[in-house]
Amino acid sequence: ALDRECFHHVLSLGAKTKNSATSMKKLIEMMKEDYQNGNKRVQPNTTTYELVIRSLCQEGIHEDAHKYLREACTMYKNRKLRIPPSPESFQSVIEAWKRVQHQRSLSIESEEAKRPQDEQIEQTIGDLLQLQHQILGHSESTHSKVASAPKTK
């Protein structure tokens, strides 16, 4: 039977391979399904989530990365993960959202067309910072980096 270490080995290899994020999503979903079907040796842990989040962010799949980060935080709050997601995971997702915002600023001419979605992205980033504070406490270095990052208009 497969265990978490087997999955982590495959996920680690996938993290080093381009265009593997979709496969990594399938693997974590398979792990969760196997766990729910009684295989307690495959429960995703913080490392599992961080490998998938990093890969998704690198490939620009920011919404799924955000989803898995929130899922990991919920599991940590519910004591299903012993270790919280790292500040680097939060930073990766925040930076992914900032890249989306920057790309939008380059591609859309009209300020009126940009405004609603830009506000939504800013709200999402603010929500992530708030979630990071709830999960990790005050993380000055990560918060300072994000707060001092150049705003895109």
* pLDDT on residue 113: 63
What is the distance between the alpha carbons of residues 129 and 105, in angstroms, rounded to a whole number? 22
**Dihedrals φ, ψ of 42, to 5°?**
-115, 15
How far is the CA of 100 from the CAs of 12, 115, 117, 118, 129, in angstroms? 26, 14, 10, 9, 17
* pLDDT on residue 151: 42
* pLDDT on residue 19: 75
* pLDDT on residue 102: 84
* pLDDT on residue 127: 94
What is the distance between the alpha carbons of residues 116 and 4, in angstroms, rounded to a whole number? 42
* pLDDT on residue 118: 81
Tens-digit pLDDT string for the chain (153 aa)? 678 888 888 888 777 777 788 888 988 999 999 999 999 899 999 999 999 999 999 899 999 999 999 999 999 999 999 999 999 999 999 999 999 888 877 776 656 666 677 888 999 999 999 999 999 985 444 433 444 344 443
